[in-house]
Amino acid sequence: MNKDLIAIFEYLEREKGIKREIVINAIEDSLKVAARKGVSGASNVAVTIHPKTGKIQVFCEKEIVDTVEVSAQEISLEDAREIDPDCEVGQFIDIEVTPNDFGRIAAQKARQIISQKLRGAERDVIYEEYRHRTNELISGTVKRMVRGSNLIIDLGKVEAMMPTKHYPKTERYQVGEKVVALLLGVNDTENGGAEVLLSRSHPEFVRQLMMQEVPEIYDSTVIIDKIVREPGYRTKLTVRSTDSKVDPVGACVGIRGSRVKNIVRELHNEKIDIIPYAQDPIELLQNALSPIEIRKISINEEEKTISIVVEDDDFSAVIGKKGMNARLNSELVGHNIDVQRLSDYKRTKTLQRSELAESDDPSLDIELSRIDGVSNLISEHLLEKWKTPRELLKASPEELAEIPGISLERADEILEQIRKQRI
């Protein structure tokens, strides 16, 4: 019995999921190359391996003749009938010609071909088991690190690769540590094999975690419309409900935050913002920034830009660390976001009004009879003190706000209206 071969068969069946007949066929094919060299002058060489004993036999097809001239290809009728008593001249018969040292020599010469064949067989197993499981969550154990911080994950029958770019920089792993990841796909490798690719940084990883924790997402009562992510730091996702009775945000958060806490724990404390979906980008941005109040907002559809003004104290929260919050919100709403402090906004507008008031435009000195968009009573009060656009432009919002019925915000709007009508 060839114990080494039997051990290989059993290992590949048990650990790699490769059927014994596939392995035997691969080895038989590769050993034919060595057999042709080992049996000089022979043609139609065949190699067989017994599946239970591992015994290797080499057979050479020979023609039965009366007089042997080429011994490697011919056999006498007398010798042939010792094998098959019913054979006749002109027929062909298989003769065992296994060299004494063939097991050792053949294994050495065929090693590379066997390796290639087995990689192909292993690739087929990988494809069969994993190609239909793309975007599924899968668990394994960190086996080793290669080429820096790329992780090799043991999934049982196969090993998977999780490149450095596919897991957050904030995460560190040790050999033997268990890990849950997204099955991103199966790729062909340069050496003819296949490689299972995993990811923990892909936005789909968060979607699958949410689906696992939130039954309403799994049964499509709650829909996740979009996910944007800075892996390891923050994830933002928009949700909506197909059932008016179900609060999509509440369903995702769970009672006392139980559902979202499990996801945050799996993401190693990455922050998650769950935002009510809105088709209108301005409404969606307001939802994303809640409870921060946007003091001014405008949109430029041509340039895909939304400009907002917020209180000075809220500015850093809107921008986020290294601009992360603003960047993620931009991805979420599909527009660039320009954020300005309220104090800077007021200073800019005051400067613009002042510059206009100092201009030579004669229309600024025409006496006003009323102010568009302002009630007659308030217009009368305003025009008692400021009779022309130039005089109004030189006034401050605080001065206008002294008139009953005009707030600071409304005063700013009136002054901006006067400015825009003159530019």
Q: Residue 145's domain is classified under what CATH number?
A: 2.40.50.140
CATH number of the domain that residue 322 is part of: 3.30.300.20
| Residue 342 is assigned to a structural domain of this protein | no
Residues 109 and 141 placed together within one structural domain of the fold: no
Full pLDDT tens readout for the chain, 423 residues: 567 777 777 877 777 677 778 777 877 777 777 777 666 666 678 888 888 887 888 888 888 888 888 877 888 988 888 888 888 988 888 888 776 666 665 555 545 656 666 666 667 777 777 888 899 999 999 999 988 789 999 988 788 999 999 999 999 999 999 999 999 998 877 666 678 999 999 999 999 999 999 999 999 999 999 999 999 999 999 999 999 999 999 999 999 999 999 999 999 999 999 999 999 999 999 999 999 999 999 999 999 999 999 999 999 999 999 999 999 999 999 999 999 999 999 888 889 888 888 888 888 888 888 887 788 888 888 888 898 988 888 988 888 888 888 888 888 888 888 888 765
Residue 116 and residue 27 share a domain? yes
Q: Same domain for 221 and 284?
A: yes
Residue 110: its pLDDT value, please? 47
Pick from 128, 159, 184: which residue ends a domain?
128
In a domain, 410, yes or no: yes
DSSP run (H or E) holding 215: helix 215-218
* The two structure tokens encoding residue 90: 């002109």
Mark whether 182 and 211 lie in a shared domain. no
Identify whether residues 108 and 169 lie together within a single domain: no
Cα distance from N-terminal residue to C-terminal residue, the chain: 98
Is residue 149 domain-shared with residue 81, that is, in the same domain?
A: no
| 344, part of any domain | no
353 domain-assigned: no
pTM of the model: 0.69
Regarding whether 69 and 27 lie in a shared domain, the answer is yes
Q: Does a structural domain hold residue 285?
A: yes
- Domain end marker among 74, 98, 128: 128
The domain total for the chain is 4
Last residue in a domain, options 199, 220, 250: 199
In a domain, 85, yes or no: yes
Domain of 234 in residue numbering reads as 204-292+316-335
Q: Establish if 351 belongs to a structural domain.
A: no
Same domain, 171 and 241: no
37 and 96 part of one domain: yes
Q: Alpha-carbon distance 358 to 247, whole Å? A: 55
- Is the preceding omega at residue 291 within 30 degrees of 0, hence cis? yes
Q: Domain holding 48: CATH number?
A: 3.30.1480.10
Looking at the structure, do residues 108 and 173 belong to the same domain, yes or no? no
Residue 232: φ, ψ to 5°? 90, -15
Examine the domain organization and report whether 158 and 280 are in the same domain: no
Given strand 294-300, what is the order of strands in its sheet? 294-300, 305-310, 336-341
* Shared-domain flag, residues 142 and 124: no
- Residue 416: name the closest of 243, 402, 400, 264 by CA: 400
Assess if residue 343 is contained within a domain.
Answer: no
Which residue, 333, 349, 334, is CA-closest to 295?
Answer: 349
- The CA distance from 218 to 215, in Å, is 5
